[in-house]
Amino acid sequence: MKKITTPLLLNLLLFFGVVQSQPSVFLRPKLVVGIVVDQMRWDYLYRYYDRYAENGGFKRLLRQGYSCENTMIPYLHTVTACGHASMYSGTVPAVHGITGNEWWDREIRNYVYCTEDTLAKTIGSITTSAGAMSPRNMLVTSICDELKLATNFRSKVIGIALKDRGGILPAGHSADAAYWYDTKTGNWITSTYYMNQLPAWVTAFNEKKWVDSFYLKGWSTLYPPDTYTQSTADNQRYENKIFGNGFPYTLSQYAGKNYNPIVATPYGNTLTTAFAKAIIDNENFGADHITDFLAISYSSPDYAGHSFGPNSVEQEDIFLRLDKELGGLLDFLEKKVGKNEYLLFLSADHGVANVPAFLTEHKIPAGNLQPQPLFDDLLVKLKERFGKDDLVLIIVNSQVLLNTPLIDSFKMNQKEIKEWIIQYLLKQPGIGNAVDIATLMQAPLNSTVKESIVNCYYPKRSGDIQLLNSPQWIEGFEKAGTTHGVWNPYDAHIPLLWYGWNITPGKGSREVFITDIAPTLAAMLRIQMPSGCTGKVITEIVK
């Protein structure tokens, strides 16, 4: 047996001493960046693939990251608030309580907006209502809360989006900040839930008047108009004319006057990216080995998608430009934080339906439901049948809410009223089914559809009868535009890409869910899952 020389022995002791003393946080990335693209269907990854830049974001994420190709949303109300809350909490609306962008609260008997908070005041603007927001309506923790807890609140967490709900819900309850866009002033704002005044760097950012400079540029297509062959010809009758009759769009008339239109242009994404970079620079995100979390949501694809539809030149151009934004963000992160020193994921809160008028032009059945006329007619018919006014309070989130206190006060048969309403609804065009939620488990429904209803039912914030649209039928948007909000794949099949720290490139087609993102992050970061988590770890990612 050979003797160990003194220098070698010292080196070994030194090496093992360093390993032993190294804190566990070194097993985590310096920074986690979560990206939500509001209203991005999965097929957009490939619909425009040949048009995406080689140094852009999407090709790099697909080629150098891992793509979960069959990621679905397992609940019915596929809308923005539900998507952001479910992604970051790892559970469904039935658990986290965010049952829609708004809902009817049975206890206070009134509408509630998902992030409204009467205790919070606006910081950064004189627009009083814009900042009266917080995450208090979300009942569980987010993965960002769990990171805070795991590091004894040394991690820094910030959420940003043009939409308040897109920045607030992902960042969770204990975030250092959430920022969103004030359409009255063109500034990034927050609320007293987080702070009493804006940081100096945010004020300086706002003073640059980014939006006015974007307006002066106008909006022309990134590439020659005749190359947009993946889209219907510009300026269709079923597209909203919010900026005029097709490209190029002049926007200079809004400068200094109207800061709302920018959200439906690619510049909304540019503004969001610039602010994200400013956060990393000024808040020193990823500067040490205590993991920070930046939650970014790109809202503009949703605003544009609602107005123009998924087959429009406008939407194609927004994604081609977003691709470049993402490429620039990746370059920035690799220079600032370090290649493979950060973990990034990209997904969406929901997809979108094609414009019904576009589909019918191509002989595909589709149509528009109008909830308000349906509600008004239902009240009239109910009075004719049962002799009482106001037996139904409202139709919201595709659910009928009975006026239970009134029905009980008249000692009426609630079951009989429900059965009558269901039979009435089944006769209406565009309604494929209507079910009594109280007896849902006995209803002859497809198991996927049944589960999606169950996963969205929170008693204090949900209705009594669930409406199910016929495929390709949407609520509202009768004259132009489109929407989302149902279980069908065009609304529920979303992208999920992983990139960076400890990610092995690849692709998988196993079905996973939006609720699996948070537990997968928890497993990778070696922290506790969020408090209401029902999702499962995506084992292909955690190796």
Q: Which residues are annotated as catalytic?
A: 80
Hey, what long-range contacts does 485-489 have (CB within 8 A, 24 or more apart)?
Answer: 485/77, 485/78, 485/79, 485/350, 485/397, 485/398, 486/76, 486/78, 486/353, 486/398, 487/73, 487/75, 487/76, 487/78, 487/448, 487/449, 487/452, 488/353, 489/72, 489/351
- In three state form, how does the secondary structure of 504-516 look? CCEEECCCEEHHH
- Burial class from Cβ neighbours inside 10 Å (0-12, 13-18, 19+) for residue 6 reads exposed
d(C-alpha 179, C-alpha 253), whole Å? 27
Asked whether 99 and 397 are in contact (CB, 8 A), the reply is yes
Task: Mention every residue, 6+ apart, whose C-beta is less than 8 A from residue 342.
Answer: 29, 30, 31, 32, 33, 286, 333, 500, 501
Tokens linked to 68: 């979960």
CB 154 within 8 A of CB 290: yes
What is the token pair recorded at 425? 């609804």
Q: How many residues does the chain have?
A: 543
| CA 301 to each of CA 40, 69, 223, 326: distance values in angstroms, whole numbers, following the listed order | 7, 20, 18, 14
- Which of 421, 423, 385, 392 minimizes the C-alpha distance to 406? 392
Q: Are 309 and 490 in contact (CB under 8 A)?
A: no
Amino acid identity of residue 227, one-letter, is: T
Rounded CA separation 4/415 (Å)? 86
Q: Which amino acid is it at 420?
A: W
Question: Could you give the CA distance from residue 394 to residue 103 in angstroms, rounded to a whole number?
Answer: 10
Closest-CA residue to 278 (of 289, 270, 290, 288): 270
CA dihedral of residues 50, 52, 53, 57 (deg, nearest 10): -140
Between β-strands 367-369 and 392-396, what pairing exists: parallel, antiparallel or unpaired? Answer: unpaired
CA dihedral in degrees (384, 386, 387, 390; nearest 10)? Answer: -90
How many other CB atoms are there within 10 angstroms of residue 228's CB atom?
A: 22
Rounded CA separation 350/539 (Å): 23
